[in-house]
Structure 1
Amino acid sequence: MFTDLQVAHAWIGLQAGPRNHQVRQAQAIHKENGWRRLEGGLDAAFEDITISRWEDLRDSSSHQATTPEDRYFVGIALKTTRAKLTRDRQVVFDGTMPAGTLYVSAPSKSLSAQFQAPCAFLHFHISADHLQSVAGDGLRDLLGDLVLLRDPLAAELAKALTDHDDAADRQFARCIGQTLAMHLARLEPPRARVNALPKWRLRRVEQHIADHFDRSISLSELASVAGLSRMHFAAQFRAATGYRPREFLLNYRIEHAKTLLATTGRPLAEIALAVGFSTQAHFSTVFKRITAQSPARWRLTSKREPFEIEAQPRRRPAADRDWAASAAA
């Protein structure tokens, strides 16, 4: 199957066609006399998709603009910068924007931007009708205020256009814009943020695991202890600990197995049963997956090195996201 990037390259290659190198550049990429302000205004650029370029070499700058009522605004970072975007005093984004970052502002929305480093962007002004025709229902819910970090396709589209430089003509630029519009139409809505399991509920679950880790414990049982449905418990538990409930239980068992391996001479099969595994084979498989060593080798190593008992798995730090997204109502 073709990837989005392969499809984009094929589409761009087919649509580019012959180009007039000098005459059409002004029509392909419009100049901005201010952030998101085209020379002559958008009224002078009547296309469904208008592209402009903004560059500011200052170390810091502040800007404000309102998206026209019949357009969506899309920006693609051409170089890494640091930015803070706000709307109605609500922070939409605050942090580093790598090259290829894509951000969207819906029609009739005012957006303020503060850049704390030199910046360069391609700006796409896409008519709401055009985007609606390719995206269908749910467009407004998805593309409110949206920031996607490290969007590979957006980066490739921007590069394809800027690489042509003076050779980019109106037809080629429109092809890039259409591909971007189709990309936006295929985006999945960002998942709602999940609240972490409250500490008092988490303590109850951890204590239940500590008391019963040597037997089978189901997700339903832990959810009942927490006083939540299975779905809500699993999501909130992972937000609080970084582990799925099953992962946490297995790690807890392995930590206790380490204690028995280091401080007793009990056989592996006996230790496996003592910490809640039904077979030695399953115990050995999980132990090696978590520690990268077999139980027997770990036992030999622990006798040569001081062993520090850890009663439960450490909190797993929140995973870094390759993208960050926020949709304001």
Structure 2
Amino acid sequence: MISSLTLPAAHVVQRSRGSPIAMEHQWRTPGDDHANARQRSDILVSRWTRTDARPLEVVNPGSAARHCIAMNLKCTSLTFVHAGRALAHGRVTAGAVQITAPEVPCSAVFESPGDVLHLFVSQQVLGECFEDVFGHPHAGEIRIDDPKLVRDPALERLGQALAVSQSDDAALGQVFTDSVSLAIVSRVIARHFTVAERQTREASALPSWRLSRAIEYVDAHLSESIGLADIASSAGLTRMHFASQFRRATGMRPHEYLLRRRIEHAQHLLAQSRHNVLDVALSCGFRSQAHFTTVFKRLVGETPFCWRRKASVDR
């Protein structure tokens, strides 16, 4: 059974005291506590979080005048539809970013818990960031109508910094949020107006059917010692051609994707099983607990032990 559009109150995480980031009660809809922010800021930042694993359908008609930058904070499974076109079906990893132009309707069906940061950006801010990045004004309105999911390590780090920031000083918290939000928008502007031009001169990305084969192979061999040649062979390509096309298709190197999938699998085992950390590390393809802990902390932000303890408290 699909749950209702409005996020149940029991699954809404309340905003921390002093935090300028509001929690959304409805997907992609900033709360009423943003009323004052609308007067002083042209970037509204809110967070949509749910812990319920039951399927939930959400719909949004699109902001009337603002672009929406969605930053996925944790791995989730969903079907995401943008302007009537399905952009994602299945697992979406942490760090994925998607941009929706004004008045573009979106919907999603979440099949697992989710945590998404939303930045609602005015035309004025887009113009100011463009001029700051390129040194001259943009001719006319800026419309970023390139809805595909993208991966950018810089955007991921900025989004994580914004998500974990807390301050007892509301004014200080607002300054930090505004600064990081502007950095995110500037990065989006730079990517949109430079990456598109560069991609026209590059070879095409890995076709979806080859990408699916590679992903299926990785998922089936997470506990084994596999190399680039193995993954490339599963897609029917040489290492050189596969690595470059995979990166253009996903925004990640094959090795980085493999590490992220292993960590995501490890999170599942830590949360759902009683295996100790060493057993989890070995079953996810790591040859030592030390290496596993190092990679886990780099990608998740805390050690496996601390993450498991917090996950247990949340449940």
> TM-score w.r.t. structure 2 length?
0.51
Partners of 2:127 and 2:142 within 8 A in 1:
no
> Superposed, which structure 2 residues align to 1:10-159 within 5 Å?
24-25=18-19, 28-40=20-32, 45-46=37-38, 47-59=41-53, 60-135=55-130, 136-137=138-139, 140=142, 142-149=144-151, 151-159=152-160
- Cα deviation code 1:182-208 (max 9, x no counterpart): 1011003447999xxxxxxxxxxxxxx
Q: CA deviation at 1:58?
A: 2.2
**Are the aligned partners of 1:139 and 1:185 in contact in 2 as well (CA < 8 Å)?**
no
- The 3 A distance-change label for structure 1 pair 101 and 323 is farther
Quick check: 1:142–1:189 contact (8 Å CA) kept in 2?
Answer: no
Distance 1:190 1:68, change over 3 A: same
State the SS of the aligned residue for 1:113. Answer: strand
Once residues 141 and 176 of structure 1 are traced to their aligned partners in structure 2, the CA distance between those partners, rounded to angstroms, is 21
Higher relative contact order (CA 8 A, sep 6+): 1
Compared CA separation, residues 114 and 89, structure 1 to 2 (3 A): same
1:176 aligns with 2:180: yes
Identity level (%): 19
Distance 1:79 1:176 in 2: 19
Whole-angstrom distance in 1 between the partners of 2:182 and 2:198: 29
CA deviation vs aligned residue, 1:114-156 (integer Å, no higher than 9, x gap):
222211011111112211232335975644423213x211221
Distance 1:153 1:82, change over 3 A: same
In the alignment, the residues of structure 1 paired with residue 203 and residue 154 of structure 2 have an alpha-carbon distance, to the nearest angstrom, of 30
Gaps of 5+ in 2: 1-15, 131-137, 211-235, 252-315
8 Å CA contact 1:24, 1:169 repeated in 2: yes
Cα distance in 2 for partners of 1:23, 1:58 equals 24
Does structure 2 retain, via aligned residues, the 8 Å contact 1:101–1:154? no
Aligned with residue 320 of structure 1, among 246, 250, 269? 246
Contact 1:76 1:102 in 2 (8 A): yes
4+ runs deviating over 6 angstroms? 191-194
Q: Shift of residue 176 of structure 1?
A: 0.9
- Deviation per CA, 1:176-234: give whole Å up to 9, x if none: 1100011011003447999xxxxxxxxxxxxxxxxxxxxxxxxxxxxxxxxxxxx9xx9
Q: Deviations over 1:237-265 (max 9, x none)?
A: x98xx9xxxxxxxxxxxxxxxxxxxxxxx
> Would you say the 8 A contact 1:63–1:113 is kept in 2?
yes
> Which stretch has the larger CA shift, 41-50 or 57-66?
41-50
Q: State how far apart, in whole Å, the 2-side matches of 1:176 and 1:78 are.
A: 16
For structure 1, the 5+ residue unaligned runs are: 1-21, 195-230, 243-313
- Secondary structure in 2 matching 1:33: coil
Aligned length: 190
Is the Cα contact below 8 Å between 2:129 and 2:182 reproduced in 1?
Answer: no
**Conserved in 1, the CA contact under 8 Å of 2:76 and 2:93?**
yes
For the residues of structure 2 that align with 1:110 and 1:147, how far apart are their CA atoms?
16
- Kept in 1: contact 2:83–2:104 (CA 8 A): no
Shift of 1:92: 2.4
Q: Give me the CA root mean square deviation.
A: 3.5
**Shift in Å, 1:157:** 1.1
User: SS of 1:186's equivalent?
Assistant: helix
Secondary structure of the 2:118 match is strand
Q: Distance in 1 between matches of 2:107 and 2:199?
A: 24
Contact 1:106–1:140 at 8 Å: present in 2 too? no
Task: Give the letter for the 1:87 counterpart.
Answer: H
Whichever residue aligns with residue 51 of structure 2, its letter is: L
Q: Distance in 2 between matches of 1:315 and 1:164?
A: 43
**Whole-Å separation in 1 of the counterparts to 2:81 and 2:33:** 23
TM-score, reference length from structure 1: 0.49
| 2:28/2:60 contact within 8 Å kept | yes
